Structures are given as structure tokens and as C-alpha cells.
């Protein structure tokens, strides 16, 4: 069993509280992604699991054993670094064999494991080369190979794809996913890229300012963000927000501001009790907006002025101005609009989300 438990972990630096009580249960064979902006504590958390940073408070357990005081070499983990950290003076083979040599494996076993990993990663032809002779993608594979050969309990990834160009990144992302399906090793993956997080993670942990904002499966984070931050972070283009006042008119609840008057769907309206007459933030994803037709009711649509249209072939991304707030809408690629044109956008009511204006928690 190689589950990882992080329990109330804090990290204090001299004048900076980097991680403020993170608790997380990572199941055996699970692929968990820590995602957040730089400085959110995700890398520090990973480094504490690796044993490269001391833990100021709390416990970290790997396979039900507290590892707080254990040096990195005794934690049975492997880590892949952003800059690959390949040993420049060693060949690819020696890079991959180093960990096994340090652990006194016999030569035949080392050769077997290295060749096997090289096969999986398709770097067999480069085993005798030095890292500087390899391309970025190949180096990344060697770094992965070095982790695989050890057959550790846990893989730790620290932004492993950030140094690759966009195309290669997508390709390596798929390969990482295949690799995990094949090896089924518990993995913790740190990234600032929400697309990587969504595509790779069995579960995604969104962090900000040293705190976990939400933990969940990718689709759950997308559909039910716990707060405004997660809502804005997950999904691309990001969710639109508009400041509104909540009003009750008869049986219906409306979110209004000078440019829109949106009827709140009933299941959310039921939770709106305490917000009547108070401000709340309305959130709607670009993909839940469309060009309004006659079928769209007045209270589920609003006017906006087109600023820029970006034709992507499969869709058009419209940058709009609706009153004081900028909005982004994803509309049919066949729509014809001009800059400065005023259009009416319809809202898919199932996509409406509301957030407390002060705590930013989802309502």
C-alpha cells in the first residue's frame, strides 16, 4: 500500500508562512495534481513529501508510516524536476542507473531495469549519449526513466512539462497519462497549468495562499466550484463574473445590475434566503453563453458590446463589455459579428453560479 497522508502540515520560513495547514489523503495508485498560482505553496508541499524541506508542523505519512524525520533517500519516492536535473557528466544509461547503483543493485538487474524503462520511454537509441546531446523532450523522458527504474512507492512531479514547448507539452501529457495507467504508481503532480491538472489528475487539489481551496475530481471542480477562486481558475477561457444585487419579486429571485436582470434558477434561489437585498457575484462560463434567439426569455439574457472576436474554427471567442464588466463568450463559429456591435447573449440557466460577495464562497 502506498497511500500518502498529509495531515495539518505547515511550513514557516523565516518571514513567510508558505503552507498553512494542508491536509490531504492520497489513495494508493491515485494520480493527484496540486494546482495553483506561483507562491501558493504547492511546490513546498511536494518538497515536504519528498523530504527536501523540513515540516514545520503536522505529519506526512507514506504507506501508513510517518516520514517527517526520514531523509529523502529512505522515503522510497522518485521525483521529476522542472529543469530535469539530469547529471550532465553521465550518460543517459548512467543517469538512470545512478539510483540503483546507490542502492547496491547488482549489474544484471540494473541493466534489465534501465533497458526496460528505455523501452517504455522510447529512448533506447540514446542510452550512451550525454544529456546535453538530447532535445528537451528526450531529456524529460530520461528524467522520467530515472524515476521509473527505481520502482518507487510514490512519484513526485514538480512542473515537469513547463520547460517544453506547447506542442511537446501536449504530447508528453498524454504519455504521462499512459505511463500512469501502465505503472499505476501513486503520483503527486504539481503544476500551475489548469489544463494539465484537469487532464492528468484523478483528483485535483486547487491551492492558493498556502491553503487548499478545493479537492475533487476534475469535472466536479468544473461544475461545482467551492468558491469564486476555483471557479475562475478551472476552465478555459475563465468563468465570467458580474457583481449583482439579489432581489425578490413575487416568487422569483433576480440578480440585477444596470445591464442585466437575471432570474435565479429555483434550486439556487432556494439557498438565496440570506442574500435578499444584498450583493452577490454572478458567475457564468463562456460556454454557457450563446447568441440569444427569440426563444431566450428576457430574464435569461443580456446586452453586450463586442470588443474582439477570435475565430478558432470550432468556436468563436467573443470579448465583450457588459456594463462595467468584461465578459467572454464562446459562440457558434458561423456567427457574424463586428466590433462595437451590440448583441444579446442568452444564458444557459444550468450554468449559473453565485458567490458570496465578501467570503467568495459558492452559494
Partner 1 sequence: MIEGAAWRRWVFFRLPMAIFLIFLLFPFYWMIITTFRPDGELYIPWYRANYKPFWTWNPTTAHLKYLFGETTFAIWMWNTTFIAVVATAISLFCGVLAGYALSRLTFKGAALLGTTIFITYLVPQTLLFIPLSEIIRTYSLGDTPWSLILSYPTFLIPFCTWLMMGYFKSVPKELEECARIDGAARWQAMLYIIIPVAVPGILSAMIFAFTLSWNEFIYALVFLSSPEQKTVPVGVISELVRGDVFFWGPLMAGALLGSIPVAIAYSFFVEQYVSGVTGSVKG
Query: What are the residues binding partner 1 (CB under 8 A)?
Result: 50-52, 71-73, 75, 77-79, 81-89, 98-99, 102-103, 131-132, 139, 146, 150
Q: How far is the CB of 87 from partner 1 (least distance, A)?
A: 6
Pick the closer one to partner 1 by CB: 87 or 254.
87
What is the radius of gyration, based on Cα positions, of the chain?
A: 25
Q: How far is the CB of 281 from partner 1 (least distance, A)?
A: 41
Pick the closer one to partner 1 by CB: 110 or 316.
110
Residues 6+ apart with CB under 8 A from 84: 131, 139, 140, 142, 143, 163
Q: How far is the CB of 48 from partner 1 (least distance, A)?
A: 13
Pick the closer one to partner 1 by CB: 89 or 182.
89
Q: Which long-range contacts (CB under 8 A, 24 or more apart) does 15-24 make?
A: 17/210, 18/44, 18/210, 19/44, 19/45, 19/48, 19/210, 20/209, 20/210, 20/211, 21/57, 21/58, 21/211, 22/58, 22/207, 22/210, 22/211, 22/212, 23/58, 23/212, 24/205, 24/212, 24/215
Backbone angles phi, psi at 41, to 5 degrees: 95, 0
Q: How far is the CB of 273 from partner 1 (least distance, A)?
A: 53
Pick the closer one to partner 1 by CB: 84 or 354.
84
Q: How far is the CB of 86 from partner 1 (least distance, A)?
A: 5
Distances (CA, A) of 155 to 30, 78, 145, 205, 346: 10, 5, 12, 16, 45
Pick the closer one to partner 1 by CB: 98 or 254.
98
Q: How far is the CB of 114 from partner 1 (least distance, A)?
A: 13
Pick the closer one to partner 1 by CB: 138 or 257.
138
Amino acid at each position: 500500500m502506498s497511500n500518502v497522508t498529509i495531515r495539518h502540515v505547515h511550513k514557516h520560513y523565516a518571514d513567510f508562512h508558505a503552507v498553512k495547514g494542508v491536509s490531504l489523503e492520497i489513495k494508493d495508485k491515485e494520480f493527484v495534481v496540486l494546482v495553483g498560482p506561483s507562491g501558493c505553496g504547492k511546490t513546498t508541499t511536494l518538497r515536504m513529501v519528498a523530504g527536501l524541506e523540513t515540516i514545520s508542523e503536522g505529519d506526512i505519512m507514506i504507506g501508513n508510516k510517518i516520514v517527517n524525520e526520514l531523509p529523502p533517500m529512505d522515503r522510497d519516492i522518485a521525483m521529476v524536476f522542472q529543469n530535469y536535473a539530469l547529471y550532465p557528466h553521465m550518460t543517459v544509461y548512467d543517469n538512470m542507473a545512478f539510483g540503483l547503483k546507490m542502492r547496491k543493485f547488482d549489474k544484471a538487474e540494473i541493466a534489465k531495469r534501465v533497458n526496460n524503462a528505455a523501452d517504455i520511454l522510447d529512448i533506447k537509441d540514446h542510452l550512451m549519449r550525454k544529456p546535453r546531446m538530447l532535445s528537451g523532450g528526450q531529456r524529460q523522458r530520461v528524467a522520467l526513466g530515472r524515476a521509473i527504474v527505481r520502482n518507487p512507492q510514490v512519484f513526485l512531479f514538480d512542473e515537469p512539462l513547463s520547460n517544453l514547448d506547447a506542442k511537446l507539452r501536449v504530447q508528453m501529457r498524454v504519455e504521462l497519462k499512459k505511463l500512469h495507467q501502465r505503472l499505476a504508481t501513486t503520483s503527486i503532480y504539481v503544476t500551475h497549468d489548469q489544463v494539465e491538472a484537469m487532464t492528468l489528475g484523478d483528483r485535483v487539489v486547487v491551492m492558493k495562499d498556502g491553503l487548499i481551496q478545493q479537492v475533487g475530481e476534475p469535472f466536479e471542480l468544473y461544475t461545482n466550484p467551492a468558491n469564486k477562486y476555483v471557479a475562475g481558475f478551472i476552465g478555459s477561457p475563465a468563468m465570467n463574473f458580474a457583481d449583482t444585487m439579489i432581489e425578490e419579486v413575487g416568487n422569483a429571485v433576480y440578480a440585477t445590475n444596470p445591464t442585466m436582470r437575471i432570474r435565479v434558477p429555483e434550486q439556487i434561489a432556494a439557498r438565496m434566503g440570506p442574500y435578499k437585498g444584498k450583493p452577490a457575484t454572478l458567475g457564468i462560463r463562456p460556454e454557457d453563453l450563446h447568441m440569444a434567439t427569440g426563444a431566450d426569455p428576457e430574464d435569461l439574457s443580456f446586452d453586450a458590446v463586442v470588443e474582439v472576436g477570435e475565430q478558432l474554427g470550432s468556436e468563436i471567442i467573443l470579448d465583450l463589455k457588459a456594463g462595467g464588466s468584461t465578459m467572454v463568450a464562446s459562440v457558434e463559429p458561423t456567427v457574424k459579428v463586428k466590433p462595437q456591435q451590440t448583441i444579446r447573449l442568452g444564458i444557459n440557466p444550468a450554468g449559473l453560479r453565485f458567490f458570496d460577495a465578501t467570503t467568495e464562497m459558492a452559494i
